[in-house]
């Protein structure tokens, strides 16, 4: 992985870059060093000016304060929302409802909530179990596997593609676009990159049109029939929501599954406990979500303001590092220790406030099943020390190469 | 003991419903509410406290 267009970081308090490989590799230490040096909120001029608050209290406060912080730009980019050509601005934003502000947000979100409520998601369990088992069957008898490339990255793609009504076999394309949109935030805006965006838009236009001509029982057809404020959704709204559901549901859960398996490969005591007591898996998943929360969101400052002693300017980016909030000692006892049987765990892995991750029930189901099946089939595995684990850059963090040695199979 | 979910704070994380389905349920949108007017049957007090300690939005309260 290469440096961003802004070059190597010189100082994490005043010049941080959350898109850099160094941040992806060392973020827990970076936050600790910043906080212990008396800097609970870091700043950078990169991306046109960005803030990084690190305490649970600040992250909670910003997530709740929709009067001062807009969701118009949930992912930090090199262009400010107002600089993006043909962009749908607040309160709708380009990918509703994650990019929407009140009062529009509540209506756009209410449309989608029933499809992702527990009673609609729980019936997918058998399907996810079958997907996970099939992925392991496909590994054959190899002793060396890559749990990211051969396992975690496929699980969420196969489910969300089916829910949306997109071809499951296009998984490689989806992952390419996910990398484009999320991991490549700090890369040069080359013509090749722009062409990839064009290709993504053309793909979506084709499939949405196909659903207009051939309606079926899936989420794209549902969106095409849905109404907001008594009218059909605009085509931009529909396409934006399809982009959101496709992108947001893929590398987030892929990261969550990967980080959990990475922990278990390196911690044999925890792995053995879960193999012997599978009923502990749900609590362990919550602890993995706390300790290795994949997602950081972003907000845009609406007007110049003061926040905890710093001067924020209109259109500054503000990151919401839920993973850092989850490691705040003022909120969690022994926040730096991973305790798979932790009882009090009000972690913020799925966000806080009105933008709570819409797909959290699906993500939890996929994580639980993925770990359950993996441990059942591979009761003993460890990191392959001859290969390197790599982590994604940007606002979603998880292992992208996860070389394992399989020591026992069942 | 009684439990209560503040509907203005609940965002549908579903932690209470997952941990204590005897005490909480969720509606079609995925938002939680207390069962049985919030009355906690004897023996389930620890489950009520567990639900409270796992709500990310601090939406659950307990009356002892």
Tell whether B39 lies on the interface with A, counting CB pairs under 8 A. no
Q: Per-residue pLDDT tens for B23-55?
A: 999 999 999 999 999 999 999 999 999 999 999
Tokens of A272: 């053995």
Q: What torsion do the CA atoms of A311, A314, A317, A323 make, to the nearest 10 degrees?
A: 60
Residues in chain B, how many?
64
Contacts of A56 in chain B (CB under 8 A): none
| Residue A184: pLDDT over 80 | no
Interface contact flag, A118 B26, Cβ < 8 Å = yes
pLDDT score at A1: 60
**In terms of Cα–Cα distance, which of A21, A271, A257, A28 is closest to A131?**
A257
Q: Are A91 and A101 in contact (CB under 8 A)?
A: yes
Residue A185's pLDDT band, with cuts at 50, 70 and 90, is confident
Interface confidence (ipTM) of the complex: 0.97
What's chain A's average pLDDT? Answer: 95
Q: Are A369 and A132 in contact (CB under 8 A)?
A: yes
Fold of A21-408: Cytochrome p450 (1.10.630)
CATH number of the CATH domain containing B36: 3.30.70.20
pLDDT score at A377: 98
Residue A24 phi/psi, 5-degree rounding, is -60, -40
Q: Per-residue pLDDT tens for A7-44?
A: 999 999 999 999 999 999 999 999 999 999 999 999 99
Q: How far is B55 from chain A (nearest CA, A)?
A: 5
Q: How far is A247 from chain B (nearest CA, A)?
A: 21
pLDDT score at A87: 87
Q: How far is A159 from chain B (nearest CA, A)?
A: 20
Sign of the torsion formed by the C-alpha atoms of A105, A106, A112 and A113: positive
Pick from B30, B50, B54, B62 the residue to mutate for testing the A interface (most A CBs within 10 Å).
B30
The beta-carbon neighbor of A113 closest among B17, B30, B58 is B30
Give the 3-state DSSP-derived string for chain A, with helices as H, strands as E and coil as C: CCCCCCCCCCCCCCCCCCCCHHHHHHHHHHHHHHHHCCCCEEEECHHHCEEEECCHHHHHHHHHCCCCEECCCCCCCCCCHHHCCCCCCCCCCCCCCCCCCCCHHHHHHHHHHHHHCHHHHHHHHHHHHHHHHHHHHCCCCCCEEECHHHHHCHHHHHHHHHHHCCCHHHHHHHHHHHHHHHHCCCCCCCHHHHHHHHHHHHHHHHHHHHHHHCCCCCHHHHHHHCEECCEECCHHHHHHHHHHHHHHCCHHHHHHHHHHHHHHHHCHHHHHHHHHCHHHHHHHHHHHHHHCCCECEEEEECCCEEECCEEECCCCEEEECHHHHCCCCCCCCCCCCCCCCCCCCCCCCCCCHHHCCCCHHHHHHHHHHHHHHHHHHCCEEEECCCCCCEECCCCECCEEECEEEEEECC
Contacts of A353 in chain B (CB under 8 A): 11, 57
How distant is the alpha carbon of residue A182 from its chain centre?
9
Tracing tokens 């109404």 back to the chain, one arrives at A227
The beta-carbon neighbor of B54 closest among A110, A346, A361 is A346
Interface contact flag, A286 B14, Cβ < 8 Å = no
Mean pLDDT of all residues in A170-192: 85
Interface contact flag, A113 B29, Cβ < 8 Å = yes
Q: Per-residue pLDDT tens for A91-106?
A: 999 999 999 999 999 9
Count interface pairs A-B at CB distance under 8 A. 56
Residues in chain A, how many?
410
The beta-carbon neighbor of A118 closest among B14, B50, B54 is B14
Rounded CA separation A403/B11 (Å):
37
Q: Per-residue pLDDT tens for A212-244?
A: 999 999 999 999 999 999 999 999 999 999 999
Interface contact flag, A110 B29, Cβ < 8 Å = yes
Q: Are A156 and A367 in contact (CB under 8 A)?
A: no
With CA atoms as reference, the chain A residue closest to B58 would be A346
Interface contact flag, A119 B18, Cβ < 8 Å = no
Q: What torsion do the CA atoms of A274, A278, A284, A285 make, to the nearest 10 degrees?
A: 120
Instruction: State how beta strands A399-401 and B60-63 pair.
Output: unpaired
Rounded CA separation A264/A266 (Å):
5
Pick from A326, A346, A365 the residue to mutate for testing the B interface (most B CBs within 10 Å).
A346
Pick from B12, B27, B60 the residue to mutate for testing the A interface (most A CBs within 10 Å).
B12
Instruction: State how beta strands A50-53 and A317-320 pair.
Output: parallel
Q: Per-residue pLDDT tens for A110-142?
A: 999 999 999 999 999 999 999 999 999 999 999
Q: How far is A147 from chain B (nearest CA, A)?
A: 28
With CA atoms as reference, the chain A residue closest to B46 would be A343
Rounded CA separation A143/A146 (Å):
10
Contacts of B29 in chain A (CB under 8 A): 110, 113-114, 117
pLDDT score at A178: 87
Interface contact flag, B57 A352, Cβ < 8 Å = yes
Q: How far is B34 from chain A (nearest CA, A)?
A: 16
Tokens of A113: 């909530």
Q: Are A349 and A326 in contact (CB under 8 A)?
A: yes
List the domain range (segments joined by +) for residue B40. 2-63
Contacts of A344 in chain B (CB under 8 A): 50, 53-54
Mean pLDDT of all residues in A47-55: 97
Q: Per-residue pLDDT tens for A303-325?
A: 999 999 999 999 999 999 999 99
Interface contact flag, A350 B13, Cβ < 8 Å = yes
Interface contact flag, B56 A352, Cβ < 8 Å = yes
What is the total count of domains within chain B? 1
| Residue A351: pLDDT over 70 | yes
DSSP summary character for residue B39: B
pLDDT score at A193: 85
Lowest mean pLDDT segment, chosen from A108-122, A173-187, A380-394, B19-33: A173-187
């Amino acid at each position: 992985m290469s440096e961003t267009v802004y070059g190597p970081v010189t100082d994490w308090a005043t010049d941080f870059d959350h898109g850099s490989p160094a941040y992806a590799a060392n973020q827990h230490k970076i936050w600790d060093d910043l906080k212990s040096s008396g800097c609970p909120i870091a700043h950078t001029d990169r991306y046109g000016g960005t803030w990084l608050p690190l305490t649970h209290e600040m992250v909670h406060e910003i997530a709740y304060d929709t009067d001062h912080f807009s969701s118009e730009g949930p992912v930090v980019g090199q262009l400010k929302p107002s600089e993006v050509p043909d962009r749908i601005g607040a309160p709708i934003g380009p990918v509703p409802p994650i990019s929407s502000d009140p009062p529009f947000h509540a209506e756009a979100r209410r449309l989608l909530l029933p499809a992702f409520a527990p009673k609609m998601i729980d019936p997918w369990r058998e399907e996810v179990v079958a997907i996970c088992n099939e992925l392991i069957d496909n590994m054959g008898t190899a002793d060396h596997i890559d749990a990211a490339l051969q396992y975690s990255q496929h699980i969420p793609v196969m489910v969300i593609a089916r829910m949306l009504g997109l071809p499951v076999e296009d998984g490689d394309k989806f992952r390419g676009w996910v990398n484009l949109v999320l991991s490549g935030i700090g890369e040069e805006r080359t013509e090749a990159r722009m062409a990839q965006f064009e290709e993504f838009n053309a793909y979506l236009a084709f499939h949405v049109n196909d659903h207009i001509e051939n309606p079926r029982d899936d989420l794209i057809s549902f969106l095409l029939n849905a109404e907001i404020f008594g009218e059909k959704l605009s085509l931009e709204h529909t396409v934006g929501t399809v982009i959101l559901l496709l992108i947001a549901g893929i590398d987030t859960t892929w990261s969550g599954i990967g980080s959990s398996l990475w922990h278990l490969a390196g911690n044999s005591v925890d792995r053995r406990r879960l193999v012997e007591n599978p009923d502990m898996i749900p609590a362990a998943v919550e602890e993995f979500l706390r300790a290795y929360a994949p997602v950081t969101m972003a907000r845009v400052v609406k007007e110049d303001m003061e926040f905890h002693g710093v001067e924020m300017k209109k259109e500054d980016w503000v990151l919401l590092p839920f993973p850092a909030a989850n490691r705040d000692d003022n909120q969690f006892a022994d926040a730096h220790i991973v305790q798979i049987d932790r009882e009090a765990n009000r972690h913020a892995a799925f966000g806080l406030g009105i933008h709570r991750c819409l797909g959290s029930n699906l993500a939890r189901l996929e994580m639980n099943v993925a770990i359950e099946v993996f441990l059942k089939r591979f009761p003993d595995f460890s990191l392959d020390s001859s290969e390197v684990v790599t982590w994604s850059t940007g606002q979603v963090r998880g292992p992208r190469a996860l070389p394992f040695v399989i020591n026992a199979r069942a | 003991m009684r439990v209560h979910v503040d509907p203005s704070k609940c965002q549908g994380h579903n932690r209470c419903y997952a941990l204590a389905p005897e005490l909480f349920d969720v509606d079609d949108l995925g938002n939680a509410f207390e069962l049985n007017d919030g009355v906690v049957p004897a023996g389930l007090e620890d489950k009520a406290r567990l639900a409270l300690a796992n709500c990310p939005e601090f939406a659950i309260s307990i009356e002892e």
